[in-house]
Amino acid sequence: MTYQTANISIEKSESTKINSVDFSKLDFGKVFTDHMFVCDFENGEWQEPKIMPYQAMTFEPSARVFHYGQAVFEGMKAYKDHEGKVFLFRPKQNFERINKSAERLSMPAFPENYFFEGLEELLKLDNDWIKPGLGNSLYIRPFVIATEPAISASPASMYRFMIICSPAQSYYNSPVRVLVAEHYSRSANGGVGAAKAAGNYAAQFYPTSLAQKEGFHQIIWTDADTHTYLEEAGTMNVFFRVNDTLITAPVSDRILDGITRKSIIQLAEDLGIKCDVRPVKVEEIKKAAKDGSLKEVFGAGTAAVISEISAFQHKEELFEISGAEDSYAKLFKQTLLNIQYNVSEDKHGWRRAVK
Ligand SMILES: *Cc1c(COP(=O)(O)O)cnc(C)c1O
Domain 2-168 falls under CATH 3.30.470.10: yes
Q: What is the pLDDT of residue 6?
A: 87
Where helices occur in 233-281 by DSSP H, the ranges are 259-271
301 Cα nearest atom in ligand 1: 8
Mean pLDDT, 10 residues at a time, over the chain (355 residues)? 92 97 93 98 98 98 97 98 97 98 98 98 98 94 98 94 95 87 96 97 97 97 97 97 98 97 98 98 98 97 95 97 91 97 97 95
Q: Which residues contact 284 (CB under 8 A, 6 or more apart)?
A: 242
Ligand 1 atom 14 nearest Cα: 235
How many Cα atoms are found within 13 Å in the side-chain-facing hemisphere of 106? 12
Ligand 1: list residues with CB < 6 Å. 75, 196, 232, 235-237, 256, 258-261, 300-302
Helix, strand, coil percentages in the chain from 3-state DSSP, rounded to 5: 25, 30, 45
The pTM is what?
0.97
Q: What is the pLDDT of residue 301?
A: 97
Backbone Cα Rg of the chain: 21
Sequence letter at residue 324: A
Q: Is 252 exposed, middle or buried (0-12, 13-18, 19+ CB in 10 A)?
A: middle
The CATH class given to the 176-340 domain equals: alpha beta
Q: What is the pLDDT of residue 171?
A: 64
Long-range Cβ contacts of 146-149 (<8 Å, 24+ apart): 146/63, 146/64, 146/65, 146/68, 146/70, 146/71, 146/107, 147/40, 147/59, 147/63, 147/64, 147/65, 148/63, 148/64, 149/59, 149/60, 149/62, 149/63, 149/64
Ligand 1 atom 5 nearest Cα: 258
Q: What is the pLDDT of residue 254?
A: 96
The span from the CA of 51 to the CA of 187, in Å, is: 35
Report the separation in Å between the CA atom of 236 and the middle of ligand 1, taken as the mean of its atom positions. 5
Q: Per-domain residue ranges for the chain? A: 2-168, 176-340
The residue whose CB lies within 8 Å of the most ligand 1 atoms, and thus the one to mutate among 93, 208, 237, 298, is 237
Phi then psi for residue 45, to 5 deg, are: -150, 160
The residue whose CB lies within 8 Å of the most ligand 1 atoms, and thus the one to mutate among 104, 187, 263, 302, is 302
Report the separation in Å between the CA atom of 15 and the middle of ligand 1, taken as the mean of its atom positions. 34
